[in-house]
């Protein structure tokens, strides 16, 4: 058992409470939330210099837009995109894509590189400070950014850009191809896939990516800590409840594993009401076997 696990769990619980406060606020601050998540890797991280850096970029962008004169909302969005990706040089990190640092906002700001959703948070944070109306798009497999305003005239699509590809503007054909790459040839494109995402959805996307990365790296204490944050942001995430229980079991936190897996089984059995698929029934049987073993382990501890 990792001897630092109790400390890590305590730290993640503290972060979870702080992140839940941000997620539940009337206007969640994505930048502040992103820097809070980064404390999983850098516990002593001071967010103030990074927030100040975002403020400075917001001021520079606002001045750039003001110097361009009276522009339409679309023109402002395009000028802002040029500022962030061409002038400031933010771009996608294609090498070592699965490196968790590509998801942590402090590293993204330091290196000006990251994965799509992390770059989108930078975009949205600076856009808010510059007075540019923008929103994230929780697109399958590849996070995007759009102009907040609805399409006008003959346009079917909002103005959509890819933050991973230096703000490249995407048309409907590009979006269809992106969907095909991530979901296969049978995936059907729907304009609803381009609807604005909520701050909570963005945070869930960031944390879900991190959980997957840490599991692949077999960094199970970090994966468990990330799952704590996921459940703080989205308490209804029953799959995350299951995963936290399984991770706790792997880390020999038998009491925590038992609590989460029993709750998961209770919720899913109740909501499915006997209509579970064969795969889900097999999963439930496996979880029940884990629970029986865990009950014996917890009894031995007492």
How does DSSP classify residue 198? P
Helix (H) or strand (E) holding 126: helix 116-130
Q: What is the pLDDT of residue 290?
A: 94
How does DSSP classify residue 253? -
Beta-sheet pairing, 91-92 with 113-114? parallel
Q: What is the pLDDT of residue 302?
A: 67
Tens-digit pLDDT string for the chain (302 aa): 344 555 555 577 889 999 999 999 999 999 999 999 999 999 999 999 999 999 999 999 999 999 988 889 999 999 999 999 999 999 999 999 999 999 999 999 999 999 999 999 999 999 999 999 999 999 999 999 999 988 776 678 899 999 999 999 999 999 999 999 999 999 999 999 999 999 999 999 999 999 999 999 999 999 999 999 999 999 999 999 999 999 999 999 999 999 999 999 999 887 666 666 788 888 999 999 999 999 998 888 76
Q: What is the pLDDT of residue 1?
A: 38
Q: Are 145 and 137 in contact (CB under 8 A)?
A: yes
Owner of token pair 């993640």: 12
Residues 6+ apart with CB under 8 A from 121: 30, 31, 34, 105, 108, 136, 202, 206
Q: What is the pLDDT of residue 212?
A: 96
Hey, is 27 helix, strand or coil?
Answer: coil
- Return d(Cα 248, Cα 243) in angstroms, integer: 8
- Return d(Cα 39, Cα 8) in angstroms, integer: 11
pTM above 0.95, yes or no: no
Q: What is the pLDDT of residue 3?
A: 41
Q: What is the pLDDT of residue 2?
A: 44
């Amino acid at each position: 058992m990792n001897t630092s696990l109790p400390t890590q769990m305590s730290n993640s619980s503290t972060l979870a409470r702080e992140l839940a406060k941000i997620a539940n606020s009337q206007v969640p601050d994505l930048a502040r939330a992103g820097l809070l998540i980064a404390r999983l890797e850098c516990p002593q991280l001071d967010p103030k210099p990074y927030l100040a850096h975002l403020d400075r970029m917001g001021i520079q962008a606002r001045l750039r837009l003001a110097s361009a004169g009276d522009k339409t909302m679309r023109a402002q969005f395009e000028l802002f995109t040029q500022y962030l990706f061409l002038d400031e040089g933010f771009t996608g990190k294609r090498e070592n894509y699965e490196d968790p640092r590509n998801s942590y906002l402090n590293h993204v700001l330091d290196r000006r590189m990251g994965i799509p959703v992390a770059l989108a948070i930078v975009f949205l944070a600076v856009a808010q400070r510059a007075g540019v109306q923008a929103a994230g798009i929780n697109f399958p497999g590849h996070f995007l950014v759009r102009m907040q305003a609805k399409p006008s005239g003959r346009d079917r699509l909002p103005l959509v850009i890819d933050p991973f590809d230096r703000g490249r503007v995407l048309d409907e054909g590009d979006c269809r191809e992106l969907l095909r790459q991530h979901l296969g040839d049978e995936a059907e494109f729907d304009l609803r896939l381009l609807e604005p995402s909520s701050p909570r959805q963005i945070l869930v996307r960031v944390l879900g990516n991190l959980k997957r990365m840490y599991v692949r790296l077999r960094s199970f204490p970090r994966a468990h800590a990330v799952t704590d944050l996921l459940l703080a942001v989205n308490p209804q995430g029953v799959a995350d409840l299951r995963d936290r229980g399984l991770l706790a079991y792997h880390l020999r936190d038998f009491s925590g594993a038992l609590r989460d897996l029993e709750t998961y089984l209770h919720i899913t059995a109740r909501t499915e009401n006997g209509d579970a698929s064969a795969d889900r029934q097999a999963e439930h049987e496996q979880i029940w076997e884990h629970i029986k073993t865990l009950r014996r382990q917890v009894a031995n501890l007492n």
